[in-house]
Amino acid sequence: MLAEFFDSFSEHRKFFFRYTLPLKLASLRAGRRLEHVFGKPDGRKIASVIAVVPYYGDHRLLPWFLTYYRKLGIKFFAFLDVSTERDLADRIESATDCAVWRPKGFMHPGKTVDALNYLRHRYARDRWCLSVEPYDLLVFPKSETRHIRDLTDFMESEQRKHVFAIVVDTYGDVPASEMSLSGEISPADQLPYFDRFGYQTAAAEALDVIPILGGVQRRYLYGDEPQRAPALNRIPLLKVTWDCYYLASTRVVVPTRLNTPHSPWHSTTTACLLRYALMGSEMPLHIAKQAEPAQLYPDSVTPLFAGSETMTSAILKNQGSQQFTSSQNLLDCGLLNNGQWF
Amino acid sequence: MANGSEMALKITFIILAHQNPVIVLRLVNALIQAGHTVALHYDKKADVEDYRKLEQAFHGNPAVRLAKRVKVYWGHWSICEATLNCIDEIAAAGWEPDYVYYASASDYPIRSSDALVAFLTRNNGKEFIEGVPSDKQIWVKGGPQEERYQYRFWFNWRDQYKRASFFLNMQKKLGLKRKFVLGLEPHMGSQWWVLTWKTLKRVMELANTRGVRRFFKTTLIPDELFFQTLVCNLVPASRIISRPLTLYQFTDYMVPIIYCADRVEYLIRQPFFMARKLSPHRLELYDALDKVWFGHSLTLAFTNDRVAMISPEYETQRLKHRDGVKGLPLYGKPVPDWYEDLARLEDTFFAVIGLSVSELRIAFLFLSCSQKLLCHGQIFHPKCIEFAYGSREFAGYTTDAIRLRDTSAPNFVANLVRAEAKKTTGFLIFADHGWHIPEIIFDQPHPRALLLRGDPLIAFAEFICGGNFTLEDRIDWNMIDAMPPSVLVRKWHEFLPQFEKRLQKLDNLVQSGIEKKRGNNWNWLTEVDLDVTRNSRLHSQNFMRIRSDLAGWAGMTLSRWRDWMIPAAKNLGIQLSNAIPAETSREVTTMLAGLEAGRKMLIGALAAGGATLPEELDPPDTNNEPIPLGARANRAR
């Protein structure tokens, strides 16, 4: 009994020295290479759900992104500006609910995940933190009428500190390269379809990660090698505790219990990240594509943004496509799970 | 809006709040606008700025009194103290209400003010407080019940659990059990009550008795004990209605449900007057409930006997979604490797499993006549996926997505079935194809099967032509005719073991299916033996032997196929009409004639090559000794 106790302690210690401590040190190192440009410099006396988002330079999508998440209930955004122009602060200087940070000089794309970890701890320690790409919209059951705090309150009531999500690529009737973004037409209007079928839960990987495979990229780009298709599982929303760090993009997180989608006793509320990357501009998408592989763990995982860049000229709509009108569409095909949330 | 001056009954609300002054303001304003009075306690731990806002908002308002603030902790005496401070404030204000409604700032009215007044007027004198004699009945679902007052709790059970638990155990070991104060009978119940002012005054008198407050200060969760015990000891049971007038429900984690903005309809259907907890994040919910409270939107009236009867919607939904919605995939939940997503599929589908594609094609033509059926072709063909109506794509798969399909055959089938919501889905499987899908079909409760034990000669003809036939492929009888009989006989001997192996596999499947699906009353399996020479054993109740009184397979005329296809389809859940469309009739008749002619030619050629054939297959003009082909097949079983 005592031996078991010490063994388990030893396991925890090993894990701490292998993952948590290096990630903490890496995030602190990355933090030293960042400079604060705009907005509140830390998370004191700001909202209880904070978004920490990388910015690749797609300023056309920014108003749409902010509008959606403000409506969902996000009260504060901390951006990491990794765009080539580093001009995000100038573009959103009137926004009081945003803060902008940028690297001092060159930063290796692979360090983005560490820099974002630093910002998460700086702004959202002991609070809920939303970590999404600037092309992603978080959709959860009844998100049209419910606040993101409703979701986090419910998750806390089930003693869970994270929300599992699946990335769902969206597309339109015609190739994305033939579309253009104008003032009133949002990416969500341009790319209203998603794949209803063709997803699967793969066998659990190391660190309790349960990969979800499938979606548009698998059927269109990896039809001949489906096993190489990108993993779609993400943890976009979690409560940042002292030992909580993303290890790879938002796909793998430590402590490992945060990678498990469902409780062992019952299913849990999950979310979807509707990805509108096909409407992204060339250069920002290229930066996102460069940043992603260096962040992935393990290295064999196929990145998603590379596929998005390839599919811009493809006709993706087919007989299995479904138009997205509300979260109910995703609930109906099982991509969202309501869990026991009333 | 209710007019306070016309009210026969005066109600004062005690509101305990600790955060979110916007919501507190909204609630208090709604209550006082309806003519009621409010005694508000705002937690001393909360932000002082928030309290200042409330003070400013209610400054000089005669209908609102702010009670002396205390720091309120969960499960602690401070909750009762805050409530008693509010009662003191009511007494000091001299409102002399008829009823006092105890609520928190997370609550909101879900019935009109008039309805509440009418209800309390109708039941004037009754006390609405849950009071369960805790010495006699179990009320606490998890955790200590009698120990709550038998022992002393100096530490908070939630925040300082280890200490509280240690001291509880110490007292138990030392036998430090204590008697209830003043010899009162302890009662427990929900914190939320509605009491008459007369009773509350008597409660205050008793509470001020020496030793009472000191006793309750060291009980665990006194807010579920203090008022309940005092009221139940002071008031005769006939006057106590042990039902709350505030709706509250708990999750199975024993945490109160928070009602979100889209639950307005649900809330106003419930026979209560207030609900807790309401999500403070979307004010639309409060806008909608304001309309109800001020009588602008109608709600259904309820009789006294229905008060506090919660509808089962929450439980129904919780259980429905507990393990994901039945029939839908639950991504992220590890699935059994063998069944994968088919384990969760609850829709009925069927497979027609056969030994030759030509025979499968005839069944396919018949089944395709039904409008209520979506019959795909061979979805597990090694070279292509044959979707219904010759579609190029279905459920996101294209006809050439072989690798994608083979990544997970069960998921592929599940997707095909889910993609068709209105019609029953079916497909064909050639006996060698389909990965382990035939096994799953004979194993899982929902799939149905039609088994065609085909004619070996037809299967042989396909074998000679290269096998792996699609529905579009036809047997090249000219090529077979041109083959030397000796080659044919060699191939025949090569083919027979394979055929018997497939038969054996099908028989094993049937046997295992009968065992596993024994509890299933439904006619899930239909077996058809198209070989007139085999003496097949009867496997299931739906066995159909096509015993022809004519010679061999020639007996399988159009009408004869139709005669067995109709009951077979019925077992698959499809109603086939007797009237076969002319196009199908023509196609099947032509096919049957071609197959029969080719079959006769094949028998002749095999006989000429020296192969021994069974009697019934033997052409009349040959004298060769017949080989009991059926016996071979039977031996294999």
Q: What confidence tens digit (pLDDT) does each residue in B57-71 have?
A: 999 999 999 999 999
> Which residue is closest to B406 within chain A, CA to CA?
A226
Taking residues A273-294, report their average pLDDT. 88
Model confidence, pTM:
0.89
Confidence category of residue B134, pLDDT binned at 50, 70, 90: confident
Confidence category of residue A299, pLDDT binned at 50, 70, 90: low
Which of A77-81, A332-336, B160-164 is predicted least confidently?
B160-164
Token look-up 């919209």 returns A137
Confidence category of residue B514, pLDDT binned at 50, 70, 90: confident
Q: Give me the pLDDT at residue A295, please.
A: 66
Long-range (24+ apart) CB contacts under 8 A made by B489-495 are B489/B606, B489/B609, B489/B610, B489/B611, B491/B460, B491/B463, B491/B464, B492/B460, B492/B606, B492/B611, B493/B611, B495/B456, B495/B459, B495/B460, B495/B463
Task: Give ∠ CA B174-B175-B177 in degrees, rounded to 5.
Answer: 130
Q: Give me the pLDDT at residue B580, please.
A: 83
Q: Does B384 touch chain A (CB under 8 A)?
A: no
Name every chain A residue with its beta carbon within 8 A of the beta carbon of B329: 199, 201, 334
Confidence category of residue B515, pLDDT binned at 50, 70, 90: confident
Percent of chain B with pLDDT over 70: 90
Which of A2-6, B459-463, B624-628 is predicted least confidently?
B624-628
B419 with A197: Cβ contact below 8 A: yes
Q: Give me the pLDDT at residue B534, please.
A: 58
B253 with A153: Cβ contact below 8 A: no
Name every chain B residue with its beta carbon within 8 A of the beta carbon of A146: 260-262, 279, 281-282
Nearest Cα of chain B lies from the Cα of A86 at a distance, in angstroms, of 35
Chain B from 315 to 334: CB within 8 A of any A CB = 317-318, 321-325, 328-334
Q: Is the pLDDT of residue B332 over 70?
A: yes
Q: Give me the pLDDT at residue B358, please.
A: 93
Q: Does B314 touch chain A (CB under 8 A)?
A: yes
B253 with A233: Cβ contact below 8 A: no
Q: Is the pLDDT of residue B374 over 50?
A: yes
Token look-up 């600790």 returns B18
Percent of chain A with pLDDT over 70: 96
> Which residue is closest to A272 within chain B, CA to CA?
B331
Which of A196-205, B71-80, B447-456, B621-630 is predicted least confidently?
B621-630
A270 with B332: Cβ contact below 8 A: yes
B548: tokens are: 């022809």
Mean pLDDT over the full length of chain A: 91
Confidence category of residue B542, pLDDT binned at 50, 70, 90: low
If one compares A6 and B331, the residue with the highest pLDDT of the two is B331
Taking residues B236-261, report their average pLDDT. 92
Q: Can you name the residues that pair with A234 across neighbouring β-strands?
A: A165
Q: Is the pLDDT of residue B398 over 90?
A: yes
Q: Give me the pLDDT at residue B478, please.
A: 92
pLDDT tens digits, B144-203: 888 899 999 999 888 888 998 999 999 999 999 899 989 899 999 989 999 999 999 999
Which of B28-42, B377-391, B544-558 is predicted least confidently?
B544-558
Q: Is the peptide bond before A298 cis (omega within 30 degrees of 0)?
A: yes
* Beta-carbon contacts of residue B600 (< 8 Å; ≥ 6 apart): B554, B619
Confidence category of residue B40, pLDDT binned at 50, 70, 90: very high
Q: Give me the pLDDT at residue B626, please.
A: 33
Confidence category of residue B518, pLDDT binned at 50, 70, 90: low
Confidence category of residue B544, pLDDT binned at 50, 70, 90: low
Confidence category of residue B606, pLDDT binned at 50, 70, 90: confident
Q: Is the pLDDT of residue A1 over 60?
A: yes
Which of A73-77, B127-131, B182-186, B595-599 is predicted least confidently?
B595-599
* Beta-carbon contacts of residue B19 (< 8 Å; ≥ 6 apart): B43, B46, B50, B105
A42: tokens are: 């830390």
Q: Does B310 touch chain A (CB under 8 A)?
A: no
Q: Can you name the residues that pair with A81 across neighbouring β-strands?
A: A55
A340 with B251: Cβ contact below 8 A: yes
Taking residues B383-389, report their average pLDDT. 94
For residues B240 and B543, what is the distance between their CA atoms, to the nearest angstrom?
A: 69
pLDDT tens digits, B356-367: 999 999 999 999
Token look-up 């079916």 returns B426
* Beta-carbon contacts of residue A38 (< 8 Å; ≥ 6 apart): A88, A89, A92, A93, A98, A99, A100
The amino acid at B378: Q
A212 with B332: Cβ contact below 8 A: yes
> Which residue is closest to A48 within chain B, CA to CA?
B281
Q: Give me the pLDDT at residue B570, please.
A: 82
Mean pLDDT over the full length of chain B: 86
Confidence category of residue A168, pLDDT binned at 50, 70, 90: very high
Query: Which residue among A153, A166, A319 sits closest to B331, beta carbon to beta carbon?
Result: A166
pLDDT tens digits, A57-72: 999 899 999 999 999 9
B11-17 β-sheet, strand order: B64-66, B37-42, B11-17, B99-104, B194-196, B127-128, B240-241
As for the ipTM of the complex, it is 0.92
B419 with A142: Cβ contact below 8 A: no
Confidence category of residue B630, pLDDT binned at 50, 70, 90: very low
Judging by DSSP bridges, how do beta strands A49-55 and A76-81 pair with one another? Answer: parallel
Which of A125-134, A174-183, B79-88, B346-355 is predicted least confidently?
A174-183
DSSP output for A317-334: --TTEEE-SSHHHHHHTT
Q: Is the pLDDT of residue B4 over 60?
A: no
